[in-house]
Structure 1
Amino acid sequence: MKANFVHLHNHTEYSLLDGACKISKLVKQAAKFKMPALAITDHGNLFGAIEFYKTCNEFGINPIIGVETYVAVGSRKDRTVNRNFSETAFHLTLLCEDYTGYQNLIKLISLGYTEGFYYRPRIDKEILSQYSKGLIALSGCLKGEINQCLLRDDPDRAQEVLSAYQNIFGKENFYLELTRLGMPDNEKSVRELLRLSQEMGASVVATNDCHYLDASDLKAHDALICLQTGKKITEHKRLKFESTEIYFKSPEQMTELFQDIPEAIANTRKIADRCRLLLEVDGKKFFLPEFPIPETAVTKSENGETMRKADEFEHLVSLTRQGLKEHYPEITPDIEKRLNHELKIIGRMGFAGYFLIVKDIIDFARSKNIPVGPGRGSAVSSLVLYTLGITGIDPLQYGLIFERFLNPDRITLPDIDIDFADNRRAEIIEYIRQRYGNESVAQIITFGTMASRAVVRDVGRVLDISYGEVDRIAKLIPYGMEIAKALATTKELRELIESSPRYQEIIEIAEKLEGLARHASIHASGVVIAPKPLTEFVPLYRTADDEICTQYDMNALADVGLLKMDILGLRTLSVIEDTLRVCSSQGIKIDKKSIPFDDPKTYQLLQRADTTGLFQLESEGMRDILRRSKPEKIEDVCAVIALYRPGPMANIDEYISGKLGHTRIKYLDDSVKPILQETYGIMVYQEQVMQIAAGIAGFTPTQYDRLRKAMGKKIAQEMEAMRESFVEGAVKKYFTQEKAEEIFELIAPFAGYGFNKSHSIGYAHLSYITAYLKANYPLQFMTALLTSEINNSDKLDILIKDLKKSRIEILPPDINHSNYEFAIENNKIRYGLGGIKHLGQKVCESFALERKTQPYLSLRDLLKRTRNFANRKAYEFLIKAGALDSINQNRTYLLSILEDELEKIGSERLQYLERQNSLFSSAQTGQVRNGDALTDNYDRNTPSPKNEILTYEKEAFGFYFSCHPLENFQIEYNALGLQTIAQLDTIKEKSNHDAKKGNVIHLAGVVTSRMQKKDRKGQDYAIFKLEDFTGKTEIIAFNDVYSKSREFLRPDVAVIVRGRLSGRDEIKTQIEARAIIPFTEWHNYFDSLVISMKKEDFNPEKVQPIKNILEKYQGPHTVYFKVKNNDKSPNVYAHNDPGVKLSKELLQDLTTLISPKTIRVIRQKKTEC
């Protein structure tokens, strides 16, 4: 039996940082309560409407779409606050009775954001009157206008407001909303509303203004409010809900609560029965904009004698045929067959217009010389898209499968994702707006959610628990894993939580908030195009940056059938284009379409993993695969990109072994050899699984799709059904049941995590092009790359280190030579002024423009000529960066006089302006101008000390430019055999795959910053940043370690750290220090010297000179000779008579005889490091 009460006022997680109900759990609870219907009424938005509608339908519940709106005190366009009210708007609950009401609600909510936004999205009675049809209104909570009048003891005004709303909606469509939430004003409100109801003939209805699911969620909801307001839960002066009753109560609880007003309960069912909104949200009905077919596109009429204008499909076919001739000199029967097959499916599914729209956008980009990518995703597998010029990769050349892109049995719009140069993406969106109408085009909303680690940190902050403690908990949660699963699988986390009630409280609250939507923003690439104004289909939203986007996300837009496109901005395309531009400026012409894909220099570069700056190939893990697999063709690059992913990564060693011929390649069955031959017997791509499933079990693309989704989402019931279908199909093709099941077990997991080959080959093409440019035009490529990262100091640091490694000289910035961008100068790269902090593009360009008249001759000359567009900070950082070294090398001196010089110039300018008013101003001005630049002689032109220069550079660039402080310890650094910061991610990945490897690491670097904090015991700990030759990382030192190192753990000091990788954070590898020592004291913590030698060199003639050096440095440390014995284990010989005293001088002397690579200093006894 259905419940007699329906909740009509509910806030889900989409009442951002206010509602704590996940839609799935809310609907499930309503089903448990046997409620026939349920409403969603989030604050001022419809973010969750489609998800809510679909979820209700899954549970057999009637979905009521609504909103708790904000009604402006006066006009929605008024931005002033009424003195009588603390709020700028009143609350009013609106529910959709039917589709007309839904359309009107969309318009109201959109106008709230586009016209009425003032702190909140406000509507007013004017537009309520215009868009009231099909809506049922409830008077709102205590913040409703009628309630506010009654609580201010103004019943006459309350009657006026009620009368106005009854006139707007109709008496039968407006209800007085009663709540009993235990707040002081509640009973007065109920009493006065009941009186008003009798006087005015208005119906009443009971709600509970639900904000969370269970009474036990109270504390979690309070924490959520603290997150919203940036407060701690212990603070007294903060926003806090007065009620503890705003949870999703059962029908019995609500009936008992309003037992004295039974009609208020009954009316919930009456309203619910009236609300019968029907939406088509299965994604099978599409609302595509009509593509404007040009007048010149004609075809023969049905009688074959006259011509008529072509329709969308006919025009598509015509363009495709034309493109086919351009792409294929010889059109073979196979090509013709494939094209006809694709066109038939596209025509049958009604997607011709969609393809034409995409082609039109691509054509516009090319007409404006906006770089376009070769294609990404499954779209690369379409021959039609290739002939239309939408993609740039021949799908037949790589054996790509069209059905991976467009499944004829699955009626959904295919995704055609397009890459454009990131610096010109805005032009593409603007063109789409102009082409299809501004009101029909918008960017798409996306929601950030509270991931496990982040929500633990959020809750810890709200509970006022120290950062160190919370960080420790967060890092023990494996990246991407939910809290509950982490507790079940991570013993260390479980034990830590059990050790403290406070930690248990963090987890208890965090689990309740985990996964909730946290904030709304604009999707990085999504654009929606509608055939009519968007508000005919979806509500609109205004972001904090004043941008308009849809209130429905990508998934909801697909459900309602609108055309959504990914217009992606890709920096790599800008870099490629800029490289070609730089080449062209030097008289080197490169045709991008003619770049050869068999260039030996390119593959040599890839084989030695010189991949800094290359698309998709920069990570240490990717470099490792490239070195080991030695790619020789584009297909090899494609495979590497696909393999370096979670899942396929486990097959890397086997793939490399097969490719290099180290092992005999084995196949599942002879029938799959043609499919797996190109990847040496290993399944690398989803398309291979598709082909195997089709060949062995007769699977259709639809069946494969089901298998892929079942494996990806681990749907056990569906996986078992697919197993039965596969085995049955394979047995029909003469496989034994046992063999069929064996093959299924091998391929099924890969269906869930295999990579899309068409996507991989699209990436591989871009990776190869960047590799080709770097291998053949390194100067031009690196110049373009540096400019593309001009505002990213971390990236510039990496690129400049790569330049030095490649022996390409980079010249320092120079006020008389540098422009805003990096540039080539005498076969070297000149550092761009834009890469200096506090220097914007306009200022840099103004510096360059001003010096065209003559170079800057002195600091004063520079200041006098540029003071009108540059500020003190700009000059300070020019000096620190060394951009004025050509004027005066003493940066410290220039900084010391800068303030005085600026004051003098200010005073001189004032005098000059006064002289302008005198009769002799011209002559006097001329005298001053002639002397300005030349009389500024500084007698302190000696370079600043090296340590000062490095400090200045760190400030100005964000990294050390001229050299690295660690270079002072280069010999010791090499001998200690330390790991590098660049290797940390790879070390972490390997330790994840093999627990035996452990994750203890030894690093050395320079401390660049230190933050001291206190833990819950009041003890100090530190978070510091460490930088070595390869990169930067963050390290935490708890009190036991920090107390021993605080004296020397400060910026610019070189240290050695023994630490533990404590988890992969969202963006960086985290390290917990176990011991820290100053680098200068390395010899006190290491106790043995190991010298490696080849067997043939281990003879008196070669060894004696080494011993002679050792005897000069006698001391307590043991010496070992490690003699390599071909393929066998090396022999180790101790040399204790005499031992040595480890020192920098010893290592220096040894390197005069033997390679630094053969010298190692190790620690045998347990010491700090």
Structure 2
Amino acid sequence: MPKIDFVHLHNHTEYSLLDGAIRLNELIEHTINKGMSATAITDHGNMFGVVPFYLKGVENGIKPIIGSEMYVAPKSRLEKSGPIKAGEEPFFHLILLVENADGYKNLIKLSTDGYLKGFYYRPRIDKELLRQHSKGLIALSGCLRGEIASHILRGEVNKAEQYAREYQEILGKDNFFLELQDHGLKEEKQVNSELVRMSQHLGIPLVATNDCHYITQQDAFPHDVLVCIQTGRTVQDKDRLKFANDQYYFKSPEEMEMLFAKQPEALRNTVEIARRCHLLLDTSTYHLPRYDVPEEYTSDQYFEKIAREGFEKRLERLKELEAQGRLKVPLSEYKKRLEEEILMIKQTGFSSYFLIVWDFIDYARRESIPVGPGRGSGAGSLVAYCMNITDVDPLQYGLLFERFLNPERVSSPDFDIDFCMRQRGKVIDYVTNRYGRENVSQIITFGTMAARAVIRDTGRGLNIPYSKVDSIAKMIPYEPDSSIDKALREVPQLAEMEKKDEEVKTLLSVARRLEGLTRHASTHAAGVVIAPAPLTEYVPLYKGGKNEITTQYAMGELEKIGLLKMDFLGLRTLTVIKEAIDNIGETTGKAIELDLLPLDDDKTYKLFSEGRTTGIFQFESSGMKDILRRFNPQKFDDLIALNALYRPGPIRSGMIDEFIRRKQGKIATTYEVPELEEILGETYGVIVYQEQVMQIASRLAGFTMGEADILRRAMGKKKREEMRAQKEKFLKGAKEKNILTKTAQKIYNLMQHFAGYGFNKSHSTAYALLAYQTAYLKTHYPLQFMAALLTSEMENTDKLASHITECREMGIKVFPPDINESQDNFTAVGEGIRFGLAAIKNVGLSAIESMLEARKKLGVFTSFVRFCEEVDLRLVNTRVIEGLVKSGSFDSLGLRRSQLFAIVDRAMEHAQRRHKEREKGQISMFATFQPQEGTMLDSQLIPAMDEWSERKLLAYEKDALGFYITGHPLTRFESELKEFSSSTTADINQDMDSQTTSIGGVISRIRRLKTKSGKLMAIIRLEDLVGSIEVTVFPATYQASQASLKVDEAVLVKGKVEADEDKAKLLASEIIPLREIRHRSAKRMVITIPLTMLEEETIQELHKLLEENRGECSVKFELVQPQRFQLSIKPNAYIKVNPTKQLIDRLEEMFGKGAVTLVTR
């Protein structure tokens, strides 16, 4: 092995967010290529990348040295006083490297404390904390921003020596090094000279490093752009954060040797430090929290007890199904499977895991917190079904346990659990209290620079005009696996632009180098980690921008080091189902049991087949509705399959179309061997599920289910070597089962083809069950279900508007809020649904409680003034009452909204006086109050005034509710919308990327801005009857449509759909006011003239009128004599007009109402 004479100990990877540009795989690859056997990770203040770096290093035979560049406070880390003053240093840099297990634990403690207690601009530690946690750590004095270097540059050499001694004393004589760097800066030469002298004087060893922020010298410019992205500047800006030159790359040992030829010991010390740093991360031990079982049981025994007791309870229902002939598998198979699973769970050591999950789900069920029927592969476990962890019978649907827990490749099982969205927090609180606050945490997640986003970010950094960058970004296909390289291969226009336009070439070149880098950290939406001891014994913690505490390691890394992570997902659908069932109980007295719903209800399948699935879990997108109408599902297995197939891969590949044609008999379904029909019959010969791949391998080639799962994974990951070995094994096994090699080859190819698209049937079954339950409730209890659905979306005005439109299409009336009838939520009343008070803006729960309490006391509010007297005005304040008036909540009192709004202040002043009189005892709390007294007070206070105009009434209604309910500005344009609009906002989705469409709506919000060239453009919000969408109006369209860009203007927007990472929006090419759409789109004007009016004077006036309104619309005359004849006359072609409203009004004055017809086609 060649002599290694240098190791890089100062590297900033992509986890030094938007500052480091080194990818972990490139770091390891270049370490190998440059002949080094070790390298370090030293990101800014954090340990985000430690686990993936460690694993990649070990996998490739490179020693991974764990470290971090810490920020050290000049005094106490707890001191955080105001903004930083000029010349002050809020922190100094210090490199800490892990020498051993003690050092790793101490680095975890230091990094955690830096975020949780020391954060001030950066996560800071101090010397007091370092002293407590110095064992097992090696420190390097840092770059020019290190404490020693900073004082040298200030000319305070004595202080620099003092701090060098202090660090040596804290860390130990052999554990502190003076760090030399040479990036060609004069300041470094000054500092290095003093450090060499100091080393000799104080006996502190030297070490040479390069402050690596990128891999190659050529990456200096992309890195500069990355820093611009971080700071919001451009490369042209002069006064900005900028690295001095292009020397901050991962240099070879030879290059480092040239820089530090005079200090060879500083190079040798890098190798010595690397030799001393020896950490073994334990990735083979599971650190499960301790579940306390009753003392007479072991964990295995108690787990088995719970599982068997649960099986006995489930057995009652299974026997009922068996008696009805609806049980697909004999009971003996259930008993056999139960024994197999219990044994496997005990043998793999996961009894405690099952008990932990059972415990918090049992808590949720006891507290009436809805729990999902299952999620992911866990629904394939019969034991989980028996323990009430899941609610899907795996044998009834052919689900496999080995897809969840494979005894032949043991990895931690993974239950992801859905809870009612509103009460998910209660379950997390229970787990936190049960296992200890220090032992439970949320989990970090990292966002990366995806293809479209990185082009936009890079374009901003390079100061390229937005419109140009945006047009390039939009050429990247909106696909999960999209990349710039893939787009260049598949989009000829983009490749052509790269060749011909230097600016585009630079943009794409830089963006490619930055693509995929980690951009930011945030909190995982559902992940929770539970440890047997305080988490800082295993993992560093992080504090986010909203003071939320998470782990510094992402979910996958936590699993790698053996910690238990759980997904506690909040699922809105569970909330809707519970609310709907409660509504049904209150309005009909019926108690719905989901377990007993028939899964063969014809009316429910009719709803699916007709695509009436708005509000139905996972089946409500416009694309899925279209698939449902084509497919016509008739049984539960169909729903499972469609749920699995409706994903980008199967849709793009045409697999879903083939599936439908096979079901319809348009494509013949054949099977290579009879056994295949038993496995693929339910999916018409198409491999839809991963479990089918496993069953084929087992039945046709003799694989155990564990081996079959390994084959499935290999096919999914497409690892060539493993695939080759698995293929040989399959062909050999098939031969032993007397299947011809040629046939076996065809079957294997079929499996390989579909394996990439195959979906987890366990997950699909559980979610199809939720879909069926919601569809059943919508079909049989539409009022109660839709009331629950509306309640669940009270904070999302777009969804509310869409669901109210759905109610109207279902023939369900949605009544406005009413102070005498509304509850907090939407409620089913008679033949309709009453609006919930909680959906009114600025009306909080405490105000609602006060109003409902007062209503309960009075029975009914008959007077506005009396209402003000009875409620608590500290809670029901002016904003609340004004919102109630605007929303129409007081309409049932028989007074105009304008009148009530005018007296809000006076009514409240009167009520406050009454409250004070009560408190003084001047009015008995129990004095009788006659209803007419309040009505009389109302009439005394209320001015005589007209109601608001319809426009103002609706505008205020929208202000209070977020949308219109008693009317809509678009109602009068109903015929125009039908004729000219091709989509609604609800139709627009990311699958429509780059498609042209037109939407009619009302402009609800306008944000005007200038491009860098000074041209005006706008971002507007367009609302229609079912929702809203963002519309970008670039300068050319803005200029042409400026007069129409007004809030509350009803317009038709033509344009192209643009799919971003998280939403779809519209890029406007034309904006036309709906009131002018017919005139602007008219091709011909037909004027109907009664013969009796055809006089010379009239003809001359008509001719003059048409001449004065010249335009591009041709004219045709219809001469009529009622009940006798009609004559069409087309005048000279030169007579063309501009069909304005004024012209039409004048013509209809002359020839009668309806005399003018505009033809648009």
TM-score, scaled to structure 1:
0.86
Question: Which residue is 1:317 aligned to?
Answer: 304
Match of 2:90 among 57, 76, 88: 88
d(CA) in 2 for partners of 1:542, 1:188: 38
Instruction: Encode CA deviations 1:372-405: one digit per residue, 9 max, x unaligned.
Output: 1111111111111111111111111111111111
Q: Does 1:583 align with 2:579?
A: no
1:440-589 correspondence to structure 2 within 5 Å = 440-479=439-478, 480=480, 481-498=482-499, 500-586=501-587, 587-589=589-591
Question: For 1:363, what is the secondary structure of its paired residue?
Answer: helix
Question: Which residue is 1:846 aligned to?
Answer: 850
Question: Is the CA contact (8 Å cut-off) linking 2:798 and 2:1026 kept in structure 1?
Answer: no
Question: For 1:1033, what is the secondary structure of its paired residue?
Answer: strand
Q: Does 1:1051 align with 2:1047?
A: yes
Q: 1:843 to 1:20 in 2, by over 3 A?
A: farther
d(CA) in 2 for partners of 1:904, 1:607: 55
Instruction: Encode CA deviations 1:1017-1067: one digit per residue, 9 max, x unaligned.
Output: 544444434333344333344444443333224333333344334x43223
> Which one-letter code corresponds to 1:288 in the other structure?
L
d(CA) in 2 for partners of 1:875, 1:746: 66
Q: 1:921 to 1:23 in 2, by over 3 A?
A: same
Question: Which residue is 2:175 aligned to?
Answer: 173
- By how many angstroms is 1:720 displaced? 4.5
Question: Which residue is 1:431 aligned to?
Answer: 430
Question: For 1:965, what is the secondary structure of its paired residue?
Answer: coil
Question: Which residue is 1:338 aligned to?
Answer: 337
> Which one-letter code corresponds to 1:698 in the other structure?
G
Q: Does 1:290 align with 2:290?
A: yes
d(CA) in 2 for partners of 1:918, 1:967: 54
Question: For 2:422, what is the secondary structure of its paired residue?
Answer: helix
> Which one-letter code corresponds to 2:116 in the other structure?
T
More displaced stretch, 806-815 vs 1027-1036: 1027-1036
Question: Is the CA contact (8 Å cut-off) linking 1:889 and 1:943 kept in structure 2?
Answer: no
d(CA) in 1 for partners of 2:1130, 2:396: 66
Question: Is the CA contact (8 Å cut-off) linking 1:527 and 1:565 kept in structure 2?
Answer: yes
Q: 1:941 to 1:903 in 2, by over 3 A?
A: closer
d(CA) in 1 for partners of 2:518, 2:1036: 39
1:1100-1111 correspondence to structure 2 within 5 Å = none
> Which one-letter code corresponds to 2:875 in the other structure?
F
> Which one-letter code corresponds to 1:166 in the other structure?
Q
- By how many angstroms is 1:113 displaced? 2.5
Instruction: Encode CA deviations 1:246-300: one digit per residue, 9 max, x unaligned.
Output: 222222222211222221111111111111212233xx431222321113xxxxx
Question: Is the CA contact (8 Å cut-off) linking 1:378 and 1:758 kept in structure 2?
Answer: yes
Q: 1:223 to 1:976 in 2, by over 3 A?
A: closer
> Which one-letter code corresponds to 1:346 in the other structure?
I
Could you list the runs of 5+ residues in structure 1 that have no partner in the other structure?
296-308, 993-997, 1090-1113, 1120-1134, 1145-1159, 1165-1169
d(CA) in 2 for partners of 1:55, 1:390: 36
- By how many angstroms is 1:202 displaced? 0.3
Instruction: Encode CA deviations 1:933-992: one digit per residue, 9 max, x unaligned.
Output: 43544344544222223333333333232233332122343345734343333xx74x78
d(CA) in 2 for partners of 1:371, 1:917: 45
Question: Which residue is 1:304 aligned to?
Answer: none
Question: Which residue is 2:950 aligned to?
Answer: 946
Question: Which residue is 1:629 aligned to?
Answer: 631
Instruction: Encode CA deviations 1:625-673: one digit per residue, 9 max, x unaligned.
Output: 2223222322221111112112333233333344345554333433200
Question: Which residue is 1:750 aligned to?
Answer: 754
Q: 1:822 to 1:49 in 2, by over 3 A?
A: same
Question: Is the CA contact (8 Å cut-off) linking 1:96 and 1:277 kept in structure 2?
Answer: yes
Question: Is the CA contact (8 Å cut-off) linking 1:858 and 1:936 kept in structure 2?
Answer: no
Q: Does 1:126 align with 2:128?
A: yes
Instruction: Encode CA deviations 1:895-920: one digit per residue, 9 max, x unaligned.
Output: 5x47xx6489679979998x999999
- By how many angstroms is 1:119 displaced? 3.1
d(CA) in 1 for partners of 2:558, 2:289: 14
Question: For 1:1047, what is the secondary structure of its paired residue?
Answer: helix
Question: Which residue is 2:6 aligned to?
Answer: 5
d(CA) in 2 for partners of 1:872, 1:905: 8
Question: Which residue is 2:105 aligned to?
Answer: 103
More displaced stretch, 496-505 vs 263-272: 496-505
> Which one-letter code corresponds to 2:346 in the other structure?
G
Q: 1:1078 to 1:720 in 2, by over 3 A?
A: farther
1:340-359 correspondence to structure 2 within 5 Å = 340-359=339-358
Question: Which residue is 1:1108 aligned to?
Answer: none
d(CA) in 2 for partners of 1:652, 1:191: 71
Instruction: Encode CA deviations 1:606-626: one digit per residue, 9 max, x unaligned.
Output: 222222212111111111222
- By how many angstroms is 1:703 displaced? 4.9
Cα RMSD after superposing both structures: 3.6
Match of 1:267 among 266, 269, 279: 269
d(CA) in 2 for partners of 1:1057, 1:935: 47
Match of 1:216 among 213, 218, 234: 218
Aligned length: 1081
d(CA) in 2 for partners of 1:943, 1:624: 45
Instruction: Encode CA deviations 1:156-214: one digit per residue, 9 max, x unaligned.
Output: 33333222222222111110111223445322221222222122110011112222222
Question: For 1:779, what is the secondary structure of its paired residue?
Answer: helix
Q: 1:826 to 1:87 in 2, by over 3 A?
A: farther
1:751-790 correspondence to structure 2 within 5 Å = 751-790=755-794
Question: Is the CA contact (8 Å cut-off) linking 1:466 and 1:1014 kept in structure 2?
Answer: no
Question: Which residue is 1:1167 aligned to?
Answer: none
Q: 1:169 to 1:815 in 2, by over 3 A?
A: same
Question: Is the CA contact (8 Å cut-off) linking 2:981 and 2:999 kept in structure 1?
Answer: no
Question: For 2:94, what is the secondary structure of its paired residue?
Answer: strand
Question: For 1:647, what is the secondary structure of its paired residue?
Answer: helix
Question: Is the CA contact (8 Å cut-off) linking 1:180 and 1:208 kept in structure 2?
Answer: yes
Question: Which residue is 2:1096 aligned to?
Answer: none
Question: Is the CA contact (8 Å cut-off) linking 1:182 and 1:244 kept in structure 2?
Answer: no
More displaced stretch, 1027-1036 vs 369-378: 1027-1036
Q: 1:505 to 1:1005 in 2, by over 3 A?
A: same
d(CA) in 2 for partners of 1:454, 1:663: 42
Q: 1:618 to 1:1117 in 2, by over 3 A?
A: farther
d(CA) in 2 for partners of 1:242, 1:853: 75
Question: Which residue is 1:29 aligned to?
Answer: 30
d(CA) in 2 for partners of 1:1117, 1:34: 87
d(CA) in 1 for partners of 2:302, 2:167: 53
d(CA) in 1 for partners of 2:865, 2:961: 24
Could you list the runs of 5+ residues in structure 2 that have no partner in the other structure?
320-329, 1086-1112, 1119-1125, 1132-1136, 1142-1156
Q: 1:1043 to 1:52 in 2, by over 3 A?
A: same
> Which one-letter code corresponds to 2:292 in the other structure?
P
Instruction: Encode CA deviations 1:37-74: one digit per residue, 9 max, x unaligned.
Output: 10001111111001001111222211000011122323
Question: Is the CA contact (8 Å cut-off) linking 2:900 and 2:942 kept in structure 1?
Answer: no
d(CA) in 1 for partners of 2:390, 2:529: 21
More displaced stretch, 182-191 vs 252-261: 182-191
Question: Which residue is 2:1024 aligned to?
Answer: 1028
Question: For 1:768, what is the secondary structure of its paired residue?
Answer: helix
d(CA) in 2 for partners of 1:374, 1:149: 64
- By how many angstroms is 1:554 displaced? 1.0
Question: Which residue is 1:806 aligned to?
Answer: 810
Q: 1:458 to 1:1161 in 2, by over 3 A?
A: farther
d(CA) in 1 for partners of 2:273, 2:752: 49
- By how many angstroms is 1:856 displaced? 6.1
More displaced stretch, 354-363 vs 177-186: 177-186
Question: Is the CA contact (8 Å cut-off) linking 2:898 and 2:946 kept in structure 1?
Answer: no
- By how many angstroms is 1:489 displaced? 1.4
- By how many angstroms is 1:1014 displaced? 4.4
Instruction: Encode CA deviations 1:1057-1101: one digit per residue, 9 max, x unaligned.
Output: 44334x432233343444443333325525599xxxxxxxxxxxx
Question: For 2:487, what is the secondary structure of its paired residue?
Answer: helix
More displaced stretch, 589-598 vs 6-15: 589-598
Question: Is the CA contact (8 Å cut-off) linking 1:889 and 1:942 kept in structure 2?
Answer: no
Q: 1:580 to 1:904 in 2, by over 3 A?
A: closer
Question: Which residue is 1:689 aligned to?
Answer: 693
- By how many angstroms is 1:152 displaced? 2.9
Question: For 2:35, what is the secondary structure of its paired residue?
Answer: coil
TM-score, scaled to structure 2:
0.86
Question: Which residue is 1:869 aligned to?
Answer: 875
More displaced stretch, 542-551 vs 615-624: 542-551
Question: For 1:622, what is the secondary structure of its paired residue?
Answer: helix
